[in-house]
Structure 1
């Protein structure tokens, strides 16, 4: 896979886009790009963005709300857009959007969306602090509020499922 990695803005480390073509090796039995391949792309884009923001090696702590909105076909241009939307002490919440388009056409479609949480770690895999991120635009404020709301919902779900985690 040949990948083009670029920060969305030259001095804006909280956003990153991966661009590449969907290849024949990415296909599932239905002739579309396999969901697991898309999830790998999501993880790659999220890691690249989180490590760029934190300046550290990062590990995936959570992936949630993956929605497959439209299929990606072989030969399409794929764009994985990752952006930091909230930071904690050692963690970063990222919104990940995956878009696709026919290389001849310019209209792109959203294929997938999810939220990921990465934790920055040191050489001994212990969590380390990350730079604080503050929203600057109205859209970034909405995304930060979205991350905060999802944290609350995850806490409720964890409480409901705590008996299933302990066995």
Structure 2
């Protein structure tokens, strides 16, 4: 195994024409179909970097920014943005292109945490990442910050206890009706 790799060594790009069979009842490309493509490209990118089979450990966030239309060309670009001991964060950018007009739309950006597995299904060490420019450094640092925020979030909610007297006032400001038995 190589000790360190450039992110460019593991980049994967896929493009696929969006067909009517990929659409939902509203005539737009089904979000679940796009999620499946996201997971596939994250797997390919992480496996290429680690030279091992990889599994999805978590997905940080998926915001569907713009709808994808039938007949558009969907392009997903992935790169390893961060590596730990056995895990990698793969960033995926999704764009759709109207192939008649050439107009492109950013549809979403997502971050998949992937874990490398050896032949026995045990987590295994992954190569480090060579940061060769400011963009590589920015991506790596943003992932460190995301981890810190996720850990803080988890700690907050691990210790969260509901106090009805305190929290009922909060609920009254939201679109909920309280009917206690």
> Do they fold alike, i.e. is TM over 0.5?
yes
Taking only aligned residues, the RMSD between alpha carbons, in angstroms, comes to: 1.5
After the TM superposition, which parts of structure 1 deviate over 6 Å for at least 4 consecutive aligned residues? none
In the alignment, the residues of structure 2 paired with residue 107 and residue 15 of structure 1 have an alpha-carbon distance, to the nearest angstrom, of 24
Please state whether the residue corresponding to 2:54 is helix, strand or coil. strand
Contact 1:13/1:49 (CA < 8 Å) preserved in 2?
Answer: no
Aligned twin of 2:56: 60
In the alignment, the residues of structure 1 paired with residue 140 and residue 56 of structure 2 have an alpha-carbon distance, to the nearest angstrom, of 19
In the alignment, the residues of structure 1 paired with residue 12 and residue 137 of structure 2 have an alpha-carbon distance, to the nearest angstrom, of 18
1:102 to 98, 103, 108: 98
How many equivalent pairs are there? 154
Gaps of 5+ in 1: 1-10
Gaps of 5+ in 2: 1-6, 161-181
In the alignment, the residues of structure 1 paired with residue 74 and residue 115 of structure 2 have an alpha-carbon distance, to the nearest angstrom, of 26
The 5-angstrom pairing of residues 46-125 of structure 1 reads 46-125=42-121
Query: In the TM superposition, what is the alpha-carbon distance from 1:163 to its structure 2 partner?
Result: 5.8
The 5-angstrom pairing of residues 29-48 of structure 1 reads 29-48=25-44
Larger radius of gyration: 2
2:134 to 134, 138, 141: 138
